[in-house]
Structure 1
């Protein structure tokens, strides 16, 4: 029997009508009501059909949503600017052209994974293993004779980070990490803070490498016709040209440079050990007694070792760059890349520091000389010193290449997420190099270098704090992934105690760097705040323009001028065009609480007034019964967003998602989905979307 509530009145058209459908209860239920005067209880009945009456709207879904309770905050703009139009419900059949385009995108993504374990190691390896030229002098200046101990402990600390980075890479093999990690496990605002740190880190990598190469040359060739800062600029410009030849070719060049550097260090180590065996331990004992005379108390020794560990982290700079281009690394190679760089870093830094103390007087080391070239002079002669200088210049220039290519991957992701203009996605026709990203990043690095007064000391001091903060993003990202995206499939799982130790290490080392040189924190804060402010402005373009228009709107006299009226219309049109750039959410069920939270995420993290809810269906699995009704409810619940529902005939698989992206003209980076589970049939990287909920 059907009963309609007598409480609904004809005059109130905004109330929801409900139709009760009584259902025969289970036979074992003995509590069936016989009193027909009351509606059936929840146990005895179910809502089989829910009739929802929508507000009157045009049949073609045109027109603007009305919200009389929320008037426009602008004096000269009506609600038509504040509130979006009505959404629609359509069914879509992807064409053959869409499928061909989708297949081409999948093929291009697979072919872009061109880096093996050695070429991928080389891109970051020149920064990691080349840092020995500027890390050793910095460490010995504070660690003294205990520098080998400090460097050994500093390099061993990375064993905490390797499992963390491996788990993140297996779960989210997307370039631009840790920015992209945070984007998939937290909010976009937090991710942009990570992007600011990464950009500052990559710029510091390029600047410190270029400036150190120039200063190394100036230290051994005093009659250079130009100052060191000019040499740094020349290096930056040279590797700008090299970066434009493409990623694969740049990786091969980087591998050649790294191979030459490794060979050089092996030769230097062998020659130095032979010379050490010949001269004995006299110089080492002299350095030991001199170092002990400067402070032999337990507190003094502990302080020297501690500061040495803090600055010894400079010998590991470059590791944070590896996940930034992980989507170009062949599957299964990432752990090997970390191993290929970590083990040599331990051996190289510790061994070279010990050899320097064994053969070079401590006063000479502390005097600011190029310690490895002096070591080469002492152990092998002029020929080896020249070789070391040439190697230093070449490998440090390779570090410039690491910074540029890593930054390009980050800028590419920021452009895909509409943080910066789409212009950054433009490629050179022949090499496929993102020339706008390359040129913009090098220009930014030049500005950063110039603003520091072309001071290598200032940039290096800031670099240590930037690197530590970036490394802290990895355990933070994994902690958020475990909590917010625990169902996401991944190859390995790191214990929480490892995360805790990594997170505890960062502030300890960070505080040591600041305590040793307090000005470092000031430089770091200035540059960091400036970049965050820039990204915040680019991310919130519409909001800033609305503020500009609001100020203009407060002066009615300005609206009478023809010039301002023209600017008025252009500004409104520009804001409207920015707001109407659509995004998608891919949904599986019709649960309104899940849909609501996904729409809320879009409202808080994306500047758009146009959202498309996508559901893939096939003949076996029909469309969920309440999806259409709930989409209409959400269309009313969010008056400032037009919400379309598109029902796509097909399976939810990578090629269909790519084909849909082509059909709608929306990049896959702006398609959002819930977290896939352990039984998800596809690799998340192949889908190419963003995860925004558990």
Structure 2
């Protein structure tokens, strides 16, 4: 194996390689994790179905159960052929391209985000009804943080909590159904008859269509099992689909029917937010209403856990495929991708704070995202059949059932858009930034190349200008320092000459100095002065010293001649202070400077 120098491949593998000691969930824990989300739907979907379908609510919920049965085969075929985390993203990644698969991933992430925030908020609203001093928004944030910590600890530990919540919820629903049945035996079916006397809005077909569209939201969570299939033991995944289908097929139509039989239609709208708790109070008394409220808070909290687990599996897969940053893959000692959980918590908490707890708009994000994911999963199955026909799979969905399932979800999507036109706008407000970030990651190399070209386009003229300016400045400095200066010495010792050098160094911009001595006829240069100049030349390397001897008489005429000959202005010529016997006035020298 060849390793690139400077790269610690072992450390890199520890981040992106799936751990070998992953917890393999058995049937009950795996069902509980995704089942808490889908089984909590009866708390709100019964009321929605009754509002839109009236007396046909339970029929619309049975239709949803029938469509969900078709999706059991669809999910079973796709995940059986491609048993990897990611759900619809994984299906499309292996049959189309990364951009198309990323679309499914964005929708799934939005669905989980909306589910987590809405479920946590609704759970705390139930607790608030039981204990009014509870501050809902801080409590919601704390609940999100608790499940973040649980998933960081590990899926094995969090699954135990999920099992406890799931079992409690199923038992609570059984108690509610039993007391509802007992209530009917004792009070008769007069309320049901009265409700059936109320005509459905728009007639049978319209009522069933809108009731079915609203009721389709009750199967949210069914897609979650496919997002953590790698953490499930072999053979568990299809069992989770079966178990979720049974729960939805039994409890959702049954609770809707009991609500119609126990609660007058006019009261359903009044108690829409907590219809089952109200039904429990009517059928069994306040204790049953309390039990259902507590159960609602618990199971909605369990739906938050479903979101965290689903996001963990999906984002980990996306990071492995380099659609999301690799730093999200770092594992803790419990083999949990803790950075994903922290990032998801921060996202949910920020949305909670930004909206101020007013989460009605998020329903649009949740609705369109979830239904779109279901459609894309069906399309992934079609592509799997066409493009990967030879890939082995444990079961196959028939073409008719596949097309019927996709058409039904599309119909539900259209129905929800008609019922709530504002949902589309709200959805786009969240979807466009999300898909924008993913698009940046998918095209980051092209974007970086474009930025590089832009920088070169901007910087090349700038660099040329800087280079030209630098050259001009250097030339200017060179011209300034190239100016020569002259000092006339009459045989001064080295200490005097050193003072001259210090003066020139401190006061003038130059690296050239002529030290000139004037010799009268018959006069010679003393060897000491040459040695002194050599010493100073070494002591002041930044100034080039030139020693010159001239024959003549020092005076204005000599200064004029040397100034003209050397092209050095007379004010750049220095002398020491002359004595009393100097025959000329300083003014006669034409501006020669006294520096000593």
Q: Give the drift of 1:554.
A: 2.3
In the alignment, the residues of structure 1 paired with residue 19 and residue 127 of structure 2 have an alpha-carbon distance, to the nearest angstrom, of: 42
1:499 aligned residue (382, 402, 415):
402
Deviation per CA, 1:275-315: give whole Å up to 9, x if none: 111011122222233x32x74xxx43322221110010111
The residue number in structure 1 matching 2:51 is 141
The residue number in structure 2 matching 1:428 is 332
Does residue 1:207 correspond to 2:111, yes or no? no
In the alignment, the residues of structure 2 paired with residue 176 and residue 113 of structure 1 have an alpha-carbon distance, to the nearest angstrom, of: 18
Distance 1:305 1:489, change over 3 A: same
Given the two structures, how large is their TM-score scaled by the length of structure 2?
A: 0.73
The residue number in structure 1 matching 2:133 is 224
Q: Give the drift of 1:120.
A: 0.8
In the alignment, the residues of structure 1 paired with residue 461 and residue 378 of structure 2 have an alpha-carbon distance, to the nearest angstrom, of: 56
The residue number in structure 1 matching 2:81 is 171
Residues 365 and 430, structure 2, Cα contact 8 Å, conserved in 1? no
The residue number in structure 2 matching 1:418 is 322
SS of the residue corresponding to residue 424 of structure 1 reads: helix
The residue number in structure 2 matching 1:310 is 213
The residue number in structure 2 matching 1:189 is 99
Matches within 5 A, 1:61-460: 108-109=19-20, 111-112=21-22, 114-221=24-131, 223-226=132-135, 228-289=136-197, 291-292=198-199, 295=201, 299-367=202-270, 368-429=272-333, 431-452=334-355, 454-460=357-363
Distance 1:456 1:238, change over 3 A: same
Q: Give the drift of 1:139.
A: 2.3
The residue number in structure 1 matching 2:453 is 550
Deviation per CA, 1:218-249: give whole Å up to 9, x if none: 3454x3342x3343223212222222210111
Q: Give the drift of 1:113.
A: 5.4
Q: Give the drift of 1:547.
A: 1.8
The residue number in structure 2 matching 1:488 is 391
Given the two structures, how large is their TM-score scaled by the length of structure 1?
A: 0.63
SS of the residue corresponding to residue 462 of structure 2 reads: helix
The structure with the larger Rg is 2
Bigger Cα displacement from structure 2, 488-497 vs 447-456: 447-456
The residue number in structure 2 matching 1:17 is none
Unaligned runs of 5+ residues in structure 2 are: 4-8, 467-596
In the alignment, the residues of structure 2 paired with residue 157 and residue 536 of structure 1 have an alpha-carbon distance, to the nearest angstrom, of: 33
SS of the residue corresponding to residue 488 of structure 1 reads: coil
SS of the residue corresponding to residue 502 of structure 1 reads: helix
Deviation per CA, 1:512-539: give whole Å up to 9, x if none: 0000110111112221221111011112
Residues 210 and 396, structure 1, Cα contact 8 Å, conserved in 2? yes
In the alignment, the residues of structure 2 paired with residue 324 and residue 542 of structure 1 have an alpha-carbon distance, to the nearest angstrom, of: 28
In the alignment, the residues of structure 1 paired with residue 126 and residue 298 of structure 2 have an alpha-carbon distance, to the nearest angstrom, of: 11
Residues 363 and 423, structure 2, Cα contact 8 Å, conserved in 1? no
Residues 81 and 393, structure 2, Cα contact 8 Å, conserved in 1? yes
Q: Give the drift of 1:450.
A: 4.4
Residues 127 and 134, structure 2, Cα contact 8 Å, conserved in 1? no
In the alignment, the residues of structure 1 paired with residue 341 and residue 17 of structure 2 have an alpha-carbon distance, to the nearest angstrom, of: 25
In the alignment, the residues of structure 2 paired with residue 287 and residue 219 of structure 1 have an alpha-carbon distance, to the nearest angstrom, of: 28
Distance 1:466 1:382, change over 3 A: same
Q: How many residues align?
A: 457
